[in-house]
Amino acid sequence: MHALIALAQVNPHVGALEKNLETMIAFARRAAEAGARLVVFPELVLTGYPPEDLLHKPLFLDRLREVERRWHRALGELNIDAVYGSIRQGAHGLINAGIHVAGGREAGFAGKRWLPNFGVFDEQRYFESCRTVRAFAFEGMPFGITICEDLWRSGDPVAQLARTEASFLININASPYHIRKQRERETVAWQRIVESGLPVMYVNMVGGQDELVFDGGSFAMNRDGTVAVRAEGFQEALTFVTVTREPGGVVAFGSGPVVPEPDEDAEIYQALMLGLRDYVTKNGFRSVVLGLSGGIDSALTAAIGVDALGAERVQALMMPSEYTSQASLEDARAIADRLGIRLGSVAIGPMFAAFRAQLAGEFAGLPEDSTEENLQARIRGTLLMAVANKKGGMVVTTGNKSEVSVGYATLYGDMAGGYSVLKDLLKERVYALSRARNRWAEARGELPPIPERVLERPPSAELRPDQKDEDSLPPYPVLDRILELYVEREQGVEEIVARGLDPATVLRVVRLVDGNEYKRRQAAPGVRVTRRAFGKDRRYPITNGFRVS
């Protein structure tokens, strides 16, 4: 006995119930036309993930119920069964549920038992744990439904399902991306298979939601650990799995397309593109605007913008001052020409002079310092916001995680904007991705978008004569290593120093990180690619008297 199941890796829009319903019906129709008997969708697919405090709105829940009634009718008309994620009412609150619909009617649901409340997750705020376990009927091959975190825990509910009549598991997910997350997922699936003896279908969401990116990568894994099928990452996909009951009642998944995992640079780059594209399109912006300085950060941001949105939806602005080098002017023009984007130019010298003249009385007798540097950055931020407002676009900031960590950025200046593409990339990673982007262009016979001089020149904010980043910061390889250990791994000063790093440098960097929480709290959201991004992952009080030393 065999049957065809479709894994619907879709990109829902949080809160857009009607739009999500249309997407689901379209995928179910395609699945039915291909001969599938069951179509499986991700966790909380109708609401999008995470719906957060929308779940506290009675009107939202009322509309969700009405949309679900229409969804069930549509499934009956299409003559296909479904498993999908939605909300059900529990004894004391809401349940994050996996719903099974058969013959156009709800056959039952499985509730999520393990509610993650760490990292970016906050599910205990919204849901109650559900301990009911049951198997569902499909073509004589009963299956169990688990939801995301349930698969990551040894024991129940997977162990309970193995003791029931279940022949295989369907795990529905809204599993956000971080570097090499797909390997972790497949390792966890194999661990549960070893424990339970049940093969696993894993269906993941795809798309960007604020700082989160869901990378898809849906797969089916057999009892021997082989991946029978794997969907393309970072895009919607409908993937088909042939399910067969073998002699002795053992269920196996037939071999199909197994899309290889991309290398690490390509994986991160796709996440950045998807995060930016969905933030722009789902929030209704026509275009993006960025300051193109001729430096590495703005060059990579521009390239990602073009790859994600198209050159016609990206505008760059060069805003030179008396400190801007000729090399920066030439490089900014070269980047814009190679990417095919419009480059405007507005000199900030006259505005800077006007501000200084107006403030002369207040500043009398005081030496020049970072105040004048920050003033230039704020003038540029104002110009970018004005251009974006006038043209219906959104300002994309160009700062990286190294700068954001230590406060080497100006509030209401270069931090001003709607989205921060490089927010979770340390400076060394920015260079690595820039070189990778150039390699990909060369492999296609194209001119690399980022001139070699941009990759070689010492980075500089160019806010005073002959300025270099290393005038204010440790060399980036040293800085990034300390930040990786302190921010991403939560190691203390003594642990970091024990790795051979200079104690004074470590202490200085740690104090800079701790002292700039107020800036990060006001920063634009940005794509999360590591386990510890600045956002929901890392929640420290701004007013904080604790000192590491």
Whether 272 and 211 have beta carbons less than 8 Å apart is answered as no
Within 10 angstroms of residue 50's Cβ, the number of other Cβ atoms is 23
Residues across the chain: 549
462 is catalytic: no
**CA of 235: how far to CAs of 7, 386, 441, in Å?**
13, 33, 21
Distance of CA 343 to the CA centre of its chain: 28
Listing DSSP states for 43-66 in one string gives TTTTT-S--GGGGG-HHHHHHHHH
Query: Rounded to the nearest 5 degrees, what angle is found at the Cα of 316, between the Cα atoms of 310 and 317?
Result: 170
419 bridge partner residues: 396
Whether 215 and 233 have beta carbons less than 8 Å apart is answered as yes
Whether 208 and 275 have beta carbons less than 8 Å apart is answered as yes
Considering 43, 123, 267, 403, which one is annotated as catalytic? Answer: 43
Q: Which two tokens stand for residue 90?
A: 């529990």
Q: Which two tokens stand for residue 284?
A: 């209704």
Radius of gyration of the chain (CA): 26
What phi, psi does 363 have (nearest 5°)? -95, 5
368 is catalytic: no
CA torsion through residues 349, 354, 356, 357, sign: positive
526 bridge partner residues: 420
Side chain identity at residue 41, one-letter code? F
Considering 68, 148, 427, 517, which one is annotated as catalytic? Answer: 148
**CA of 433: how far to CAs of 183, 360, 402, 424, 482, in Å?**
21, 44, 15, 13, 20
In angstroms, the first-to-last Cα distance of the chain is: 67
Reduced to 3 states (helix: H, G, I; strand: E, B; else coil), residue 69 is helix
Considering 68, 112, 232, 517, which one is annotated as catalytic? Answer: 112
Whether 229 and 242 have beta carbons less than 8 Å apart is answered as no
Q: Is 97 exposed, middle or buried (0-12, 13-18, 19+ CB in 10 A)?
A: buried
Q: Which two tokens stand for residue 341?
A: 């984007």
Q: Show the DSSP H helices in 262-400 as ranges.
A: 264-282, 296-309, 326-339, 349-363, 370-391
490 is catalytic: no
* CB crowding 296-308: b at 16 or more within 10 Å, else e: bbbbbbbbbbbbb
- The catalytic residue positions are 43, 112, 148
